[in-house]
Amino acid sequence: MVRADFVIKLGGSAITNKDSPLSPNMEVMEQIARELAKFDLKEKKIVLVYGGGSFGHFIAKRYLSKGAVLSPKGCAEIRAAMLSLAKIITDTFLKYDLPIFVINPSSCFLLKDGEIEPNSSFLIPIERSLQTGLLPAVGGDVVLDSVNGARILSGDRIARLIARRLEVKALIFGTDVDGILTDKGLLRRIKKGEIKRTLAVLGGRPGDVTGGIAGKLREIDSYLSEGGRLAIVFNITRPGLLTKILSGDEVIGTYIG
């Protein structure tokens, strides 16, 4: 079995300008690429997962009906938006000699009424990529569903599934805020048994079709319940923090586990 050290979820709110349709945040993308380029990916095995941000979310909210995308045109438009984002990420990372290898969820994930089909073979290309010395990257996307046409499979959920299967040291969520915030401020640590109580006091970001910070915390709850080790939520737009986390240093953020 192939194992990885980290799964890093690049939040759509960080790598795109979420309030401006189809707008990448190039400054943050380049910063992330520079930080990852410091590491030997043969020694430190990393899987990237990226959110749809102002690409996927902007299109998806036009076509979602009770969680499903029933319009063939809608499916095609969401897929096209995520392909555009994938191309931008790929071109940016290649500038820094990072061997990024984007794997399309629409090609390797299958759903049945919103749940991953047991025979969905999504892990195989990710494992082969790691073995080959590549930097696999998977984005949230529209995925075919045998019951309801198609559904949005969030990057948060994909990150949780991959992190659990590859038994990573940490599942990392890079957002545009310093961690899990409540009206009392930043929560630096959340114990596994405190997650549901924390969820009760969280709000969501308007226009986020995949659940926002509460959706992340629900995926983290599932991840830890399934045997995951540690999850970290931090502000990836702050230069240097990703480097510190990958080097084993603690940063300002929320550590859950």
Q: What is the DSSP string of 143-158?
A: EEETTTEEEEE-HHHH
Nearest one of 201, 43, 204, 229 to 135, comparing CA atoms: 43
pLDDT digits (tens, 9 = 90+) for 166-224: 999 999 999 999 999 988 899 999 998 899 888 887 755 544 554 578 889 999 999 99
pLDDT, average across residues 51-69? 90
Q: Which two tokens stand for residue 126?
A: 């990710």
Q: pLDDT tens for residues 72-99?
A: 999 999 999 999 999 999 999 999 999 9
Q: Bridge-partner residues for 185, per DSSP?
A: 182
Residue 53: pLDDT over 70: yes
Distance of CA 77 to the CA centre of its chain: 20
Which residues, 6 or more positions from 128, have their beta carbon under 8 angstroms from its beta carbon? none
Please give the domain boundaries of the chain with CATH numbers for all domains.
6-256 (3.40.1160.10)
> Is the pTM here over 0.85, yes or no?
yes
3-class secondary-structure state, position 109 = coil
Helix (H) or strand (E) holding 83: helix 72-94
238 touches 176 (CB < 8 A): no
CB-side neighbour CA atoms (13 Å) of 63 = 22
Average pLDDT of span 36-44: 96
Q: How many residues does the chain have?
A: 257
Q: Which residues contact residue 157 at a Cβ distance below 8 angstroms, ignoring those fewer than 6 apart?
A: 210, 219
Q: What single DSSP character describes residue 94?
A: H
Give the residue from 219, 214, 225, 135 showing the smallest Cα distance to 172. 219
Specify the residue for token string 């502000």. Answer: 235
Which residues of the chain form beta strands (DSSP E)?
6-10, 46-50, 64-65, 68-69, 100-103, 111-112, 115-116, 135-139, 141-145, 149-153, 170-175, 180-182, 185-187, 189-190, 231-235, 254-256
Residue listed under structure tokens 């749809």: 52
* pLDDT given for residue 204 in this prediction: 52
Of 185, 161, 155, 173, which Cα lies nearest the Cα of 231? 173
**Per-residue pLDDT, 211:** 57
| Burial status of residue 97 (CB atoms within 10 A of its CB: 0-12, 13-18, 19 or more) | exposed
Look at residue 227 and tell me whether its pLDDT is greater than 60. yes
Q: Over the stretch 12-27, which tens digit does the pLDDT of each residue have?
A: 999 999 889 999 999 9
